[in-house]
Structure 1
Amino acid sequence: MRISLCQLRSGPDPEENLAAAAAAVRRAAAEGAVLAVLPEAAMARFGVPLGPVAQPLTGPWAGGLRAVAEETGVTVVAGMFTPTADGRVANTLLVAAPGGGGRGESYDKIHLYDAFGYRESDTVAPGGRVVTLDVAGVRVGLATCYDVRFPELFRAHADAGAVLSLLPASWGAGPGKAEQWELLVRARALDATVWVAAVDQALPSPGADPEEPTAAPNGVGRSLLVAPDGSVRARLGGDPDVLTFDLDPAEADRVRASIPVLANRRLPL
């Protein structure tokens, strides 16, 4: 499976961000990818009021990504914000697939970032559903950013047959946070013996210091693809870029045969 990790630097304007997302997907298509993964908050960065930018999955922003998926033949997964009944928004991963496949698929972030002095739950309502789907014959699980700190979600992906977990993010900067990002992504790959494609927002400005905390979690870059044995197979730096890689879904089966942590679980604990 050829996959592209599309590291963006989203701003406050959804239309400008849609144009940047479309350009990244077209580059992924030119490089032969069948799946393009964009960051959390690809629609609009954190730190701006989310209610006014939120749109339903039938709205123009999602429609724009579906049009690009149809144009390129690439399945696209990207972070956006959708309205909720309680007046907050949902932190949603949209799945846009050519031919209308996956048209109804989306994932609302389950674990909200109420940590390091930030309270995502003040404006975002949590999801409550584990989501897996098939992309080009490969079972894929969906997770978002802070979800990476909860290994049970990635094991739920594996239990549902997934061999690849997608992790769009807008990681918060701060002392040691970039190191935690890679450590956690690698740990989740090992916990569930899945590939993990972790796609972060680029640094909010060129040369920004990922050790310096920001008011909102706006990304540290360093998107990476980790194999089921926990090894990093590819990574990006801090700036916007597209990384395309051929992964072997069967590698998950080979790793599970030698490190059968899923089969060896003793439940209930």
Structure 2
Amino acid sequence: MRVALVQLTTGRDLEANLELLRARIREAAGRGAEVVVFPEASMRAFGNSLVDIAEPLDGPWATAVRAAADEAGVVVVAGMFTPGDKGAATTTVRNTLLVHGRGTDAHYDKIHLYDAFGFKESDTVTPGTEAVRFTVDGVTFGLATCYDVRFPALFTANAAAGAQVQIVCASWGAGPGKAEQWDLLVRARAVDTTSYVLACGQSDPAAAGPEAAAAARPGAPTGIGRSAVVDPYGNLVERAGDGPEILYADLDLAAVEEARRTLPVLVNRRLIESGIPG
């Protein structure tokens, strides 16, 4: 199965972001990709208001992404924002991954919110509560978003339920040591679960051109690039640089079966209860 990881920098304008996704979907499909993965916050970059653009899964932005996936004949995974809970003092969104194409229609709401490194995602985002997987042509994918990558139990739950490939969509915050942590974590989750990991992040706005750099909000987690494809033993298959690009990889699912026979960590584990529904 050929997959494409589209590393890009989105901005404030929903229509411009949508056109960027459409163009990259066509490009990836033209290169033979069957699954095309976009980063977290593909709908609108962090550092901008999210409540005013959050829409239901049958809203216009999501509908347009679905149409682009269907037209190209691929599965698309893309980060968007859907309405969250309404509290007494605030209205929130859900940090959602939309999945659509080739008979698949699913979504995942980010479970672990980024209340770290001075950022407080829980002030504006309602957390998800369930792990989500989807299957295409006999291949099962688990879903995760950004800060989720620091929580192995989610990935183990997905793998125990049959996921051979783990998708991580991110808009990773910059800072001292953060790139090294990202590199380590995406490889660790592959080893933990003897799964492929497809880690697709927003590119660094500074590497995406002067306009993107000027539009990025200081202090917001707007991406560092370094998207990666990791094999079930934790070996790096492909890695992007800082700027916009598309990574392509042909996944050998027999490698997952071999890794799970050779390194049966899912069978050997003893602390079974993850506490994560689904």
- TM norm structure 2: 0.92
Q: Is the 8 A contact 2:208 2:244 kept in 1?
A: no
Match of 1:186 in 2: 187
- For 1:223, the aligned partner's letter is S
Query: For 2:148, what is the secondary structure of its paired residue?
Result: helix
Question: 5 Å matches for 1:71-150?
Answer: 71-86=71-86, 87-98=91-102, 101-103=103-105, 105-150=106-151
Q: Is the 8 A contact 2:9 2:208 kept in 1?
A: no
Match of 1:28 in 2: 28
- For 1:72, the aligned partner's letter is A
**% of aligned pairs identical?**
54
Q: Is the 8 A contact 1:8 1:21 kept in 2?
A: no
- For 2:7, the aligned partner's letter is Q
Q: Is the 8 A contact 1:35 1:74 kept in 2?
A: yes
Deviation, structure 1 residue 3: 0.1
Q: Is the 8 A contact 1:169 1:201 kept in 2?
A: yes
Match of 2:161 in 1: 160
Query: For 2:63, what is the secondary structure of its paired residue?
Result: helix
Partner Cα distance (2:61, 2:94) in 1: 15
Q: Is the 8 A contact 2:54 2:81 kept in 1?
A: yes
Answer yes or no: is 1:42 the counterpart of 2:42: yes
Q: Is the 8 A contact 2:29 2:73 kept in 1?
A: yes
Deviation, structure 1 residue 250: 1.8
Q: How many residues were matched structurally? A: 263
Match of 1:63 in 2: 63
Deviation, structure 1 residue 39: 0.1
Deviations 1:155-180 (A, max 9, x none): 01111101001100000000110111
- For 2:96, the aligned partner's letter is T
Deviation, structure 1 residue 244: 1.2
- For 1:249, the aligned partner's letter is L
Match of 1:256 in 2: 260
Query: For 1:197, what is the secondary structure of its paired residue?
Result: strand
Q: Is the 8 A contact 1:140 1:162 kept in 2?
A: yes
Superposition RMSD in Å: 1.6
Answer yes or no: is 1:228 the counterpart of 2:232: yes
Partner Cα distance (1:152, 1:106) in 2: 19
Partner Cα distance (2:84, 2:208) in 1: 36
Runs of 4+ in 1 over 4 A off after TM superposition: none
Deviation, structure 1 residue 207: 7.4
Partner Cα distance (2:208, 2:109) in 1: 32
Partner Cα distance (1:85, 1:151) in 2: 27
- For 2:265, the aligned partner's letter is V
Question: 5 Å matches for 1:198-213?
Answer: 198-206=199-207
Partner Cα distance (2:250, 2:177) in 1: 30
Query: For 2:156, what is the secondary structure of its paired residue?
Result: helix
Query: For 1:83, what is the secondary structure of its paired residue?
Result: strand
Query: For 2:85, what is the secondary structure of its paired residue?
Result: coil
Query: For 1:111, what is the secondary structure of its paired residue?
Result: coil
Deviation, structure 1 residue 136: 2.4
Q: Is the 8 A contact 1:174 1:214 kept in 2?
A: no
Q: Is the 8 A contact 2:39 2:202 kept in 1?
A: yes
Gap regions ≥5 residues in structure 1: none
Query: For 1:155, what is the secondary structure of its paired residue?
Result: helix
Deviations 1:39-87 (A, max 9, x none): 0000000001110111111011111111111110010000000012322
- For 2:104, the aligned partner's letter is G
Match of 2:276 in 1: none
Deviation, structure 1 residue 93: 0.1
- For 2:136, the aligned partner's letter is V
Deviation, structure 1 residue 205: 2.2
